[in-house]
Amino acid sequence: MGKVAFVFAGQGAQYPGMGRELYEHSAAARAAFDRAEAIRPGTLEMCFHGSADALAQTVNTQPCLFAMDYACAEAAVEAGVAPSFCAGFSLGEVVAAGFAGVMDFEQAFRFVVRRGERMQECAGRVSGAMGAVLRLSPEAVEAICREFPDAAYPVNYNCPGQTVVACRAEIYDALAARVIAEKGRMLRLNVSGAFHTPWMGAASADLAEYLSGQRLNVPRIPLYANATAQPYAVDGAQLLSRQVSNPVRWQESVENMAAAGAEVFVELGAGKTLSGLIRKTIPGARVYNVEKPEDLEKLKEELCR
Active site residues: 90, 196
Give CA torsion, residues 200, 206, 209, 214, to 10 deg. Answer: -100
Q: Three-state SS for 168?
A: strand
C-alpha span between 77 and 29 (Å, rounded): 10
Q: Contact at 8 Å (CB) between 147 and 154?
A: no
DSSP element (H, E) containing 146 = helix 138-146
DSSP element (H, E) containing 258 = helix 250-259
User: Rounded to whole angstroms, what are the CA distances from 256 to 51, 165, 229?
Assistant: 37, 23, 7
Chain centroid to CA 102: how far? 17
